Structure 1
C-alpha cells in the first residue's frame, strides 16, 4: 500500500470515527473501552483491501459492533467484581462527541440513567437496541450487522424494549429545569443549607456514587431524603474548597468538581415534579480520565 493510499484510508476512517465512537460508547458504557474498540476497528480497516469494503459506513458499523460484543462479555465479568456501584463513564456532549443531541429522545439515549438500564440486557439485545433506537437502523440492516435473521433481530429488539419499558422514567425534565436542579443543589451544598437541600430533594431520592474502590464513596445506593442528607452532611465541606462548574454531560446539565486542580467528581441529576429524584456521582478517577481530557482540550 502506497503512502498516499494509506493516508487516504486514514483520512476516510477519521470521517467515520465520531459516529463509531458514539456507537461503541452506547454499547459499552465506557469511553475508554469505546476508544479502544474504535482503534481496533481502525487496525482492521487498515489491514483490509479497499476493494473488499463496498460500503465503508456499514463495514465499520458491523466491525465496531462485533468488537464491542466481544468486549462486553469480559466487561460483564469485571463489573460483577467491581467495588461498589458501577456507573457509566461520563462524557461531555456539548461538543458533539456522541453526535447530535437535538431532541429529548436523542439526549435520553445517552443519559446515565438509560446506560445503567442497558446493563440489564444481554450483549446482543443491547447492540440491537442501540442500533435501532440511537442510529435508526432497520431490522434488516441490524440483521446484516449481526449476521442474524431479520426475525431474530425483531425478537431481540422486542425483548430489550420490554425489559426497559417499566424501568424508564415516565417524565424527563427539560434542559432548563435540570440546570436549575444542578445550580440549586450546588448553591445549597456550598452554603451548608440543609433546609435548602431538603426542599430540592424528593422524599424517595436515590444517590448513587461510583468510587470503584479507588476513592471514598458509598458502596451501595443511598435511599431516601434523610439518608442522603446525612451523607451530604459529611461531604459538604468539600464544596467550600472545590471549584464547581457546569457542563453538558451525557446530554444533560451536570456538576463538575475540581479539587486542587484535579477533576474529582462529575454528578448528573434526575428529577420529576420540580424536585431531584436521583443523583449519579462518578468519583472514580479512572472513569474521569476521558472528561479530564475533554476539558483540557476545550
Structure 2
C-alpha cells in the first residue's frame, strides 16, 4: 500500500470522531465539515512520521480551527441577546443511522447546544474536550493558551451553566414522544390547562427565526406563558411530522412539501422542560430531513 493511500485510510478512521468534536464545538454541520476537511489538508502538508497519536494530533488541529471560528463568530455578533440556534440533526424514529449515532453520542440535544452557544470560546472548548471526550486539562490548556488551573475553572464554569439551563433529558424516547404527543393533542383541542399540565412550571421556549438577527429571536419562560401560544401550535398541528431531533423526540412542520419549522423538545420526568424552535427559511431549506415523508 502506498503512503498516500495509507494516510487517507488512517484519516478516514478518525473522521467520525473529528466530526463529532467539531459539531459540538461549532453547532454547525457545514462548519464542522469544513473544519474536518481543513484538518485533512493540513495533514497532507505535514510530516507526521514522528506523531505517535495521530487521533490526538488531528483533534488538536480541529480544535484550533474551531477555536478560531468561535472567536471570529463572537467578534461578528452585534447583539449579546441574539439566539443562534444550532443546526439540528433530523432523523426518523425507528431508523438507525450509524453516522448520526456517532455524531450524537452522549445525547447532544439541541437544548444543550443552544446553551453552549452562550459560552465563551475558551469555555466551550474546555467543556467539550474534557466533559464530552475526556481530554485531560493539561492537554487542553496549550490549545486555548491558558494554564491548566484556569482551563479547569473554565470547564467548571461552563458545566454549571449547562447543568443549570440544559438538564439531561429522559433517556426513554417513548416517554419523550408521549409528552410531545400530549402537547400537540392539547394544542389541537385548544385545551390550555392540558397544555400547562404537560409543561414543566419553568419551561423555556427559544426560537431563532431570522438568521442572526436578534429581532427574530423569541424567548418565553414559564408554563402558562408558553401555553398562551396555543393558537399558534393549533394552526401547526395538522402539518406536524414526528421526527428525531438530535436523537430526541421532536417534530418537523411541513406545509405543502416545504419545512416551515423544526421543534426540539427536552422532556424530563414526563414534562417538557425546553422547546427549541428553528423557523429561519434559509436554514430550513438546507436541512437534510432524513427521508421524512413530506
User: Into which bin does the TM-score normalised by the smaller protein fall?
Assistant: 0.7 to 0.9
Q: Which residue of structure 1 lines up, in the alignment, with residue 259 of structure 2?
A: 263
How far is the alpha carbon of 1:76 from its aligned partner? 2.0
8 Å Cα contact 2:263/2:277 also seen in 1: yes
* TM alignment of 1:109-258, pairs within 5 A: 110-143=108-141, 145-146=143-144, 149-169=147-167, 172-175=169-172, 176-212=174-210, 219-240=217-238, 242-247=239-244, 249-258=245-254
Structure 1 pair 286–294 and aligned structure 2 pair: CA distance change class (3 A): farther
How far is the alpha carbon of 1:174 from its aligned partner? 3.4
How far is the alpha carbon of 1:13 from its aligned partner? 1.6
Which has the higher mean CA deviation after the structures are superposed, 137-146 or 43-52? 137-146
Structure 1 pair 122–274 and aligned structure 2 pair: CA distance change class (3 A): same
How far is the alpha carbon of 1:26 from its aligned partner? 0.9
8 Å Cα contact 1:28/1:34 also seen in 2: yes
Question: Structure 1 regions of 5+ residues with no counterpart?
Answer: none
Q: Which residue of structure 2 lines up, in the alignment, with residue 33 of structure 1?
A: 31
How far is the alpha carbon of 1:151 from its aligned partner? 3.7
Question: Structure 2 regions of 5+ residues with no counterpart?
Answer: none
Q: What is the aligned-residue RMSD (CA, Å)?
A: 3.2
Can you list the C-alpha shifts for 1:8-57, whole angstroms capped at 9, x where unaligned?
32332222111111101111122221111111112111222342543210
How far is the alpha carbon of 1:294 from its aligned partner? 4.2
* TM alignment of 1:16-165, pairs within 5 A: 16-51=14-49, 53-81=51-79, 85-92=83-90, 95=97, 96-97=99-100, 99=102, 106-107=106-107, 110-143=108-141, 145-146=143-144, 149-165=147-163
8 Å Cα contact 1:204/1:225 also seen in 2: yes
Alignment partners' CA distance in 2, 1:224 and 1:147: 40
8 Å Cα contact 2:126/2:151 also seen in 1: yes
Three-state SS of the structure 1 residue aligned to 2:100 is coil
How far is the alpha carbon of 1:61 from its aligned partner? 0.3
Can you list the C-alpha shifts for 1:58-109, whole angstroms capped at 9, x where unaligned?
111000000000000122234445995322211247534362767xxx21xx
Three-state SS of the structure 2 residue aligned to 1:120 is coil
How far is the alpha carbon of 1:191 from its aligned partner? 4.7
Three-state SS of the structure 1 residue aligned to 2:210 is coil
8 Å Cα contact 1:18/1:97 also seen in 2: no
Three-state SS of the structure 2 residue aligned to 1:174 is coil
Structure 1 pair 64–100 and aligned structure 2 pair: CA distance change class (3 A): closer
Structure 1 pair 33–91 and aligned structure 2 pair: CA distance change class (3 A): same
How many residue pairs align between the two structures? 285
Q: TM-score, normalised by structure 1?
A: 0.80
Q: Which residue of structure 2 lines up, in the alignment, with residue 277 of structure 1?
A: 273
Three-state SS of the structure 2 residue aligned to 1:206 is strand
Alignment partners' CA distance in 1, 2:212 and 2:141: 41
How far is the alpha carbon of 1:153 from its aligned partner? 3.0
Alignment partners' CA distance in 2, 1:284 and 1:156: 32
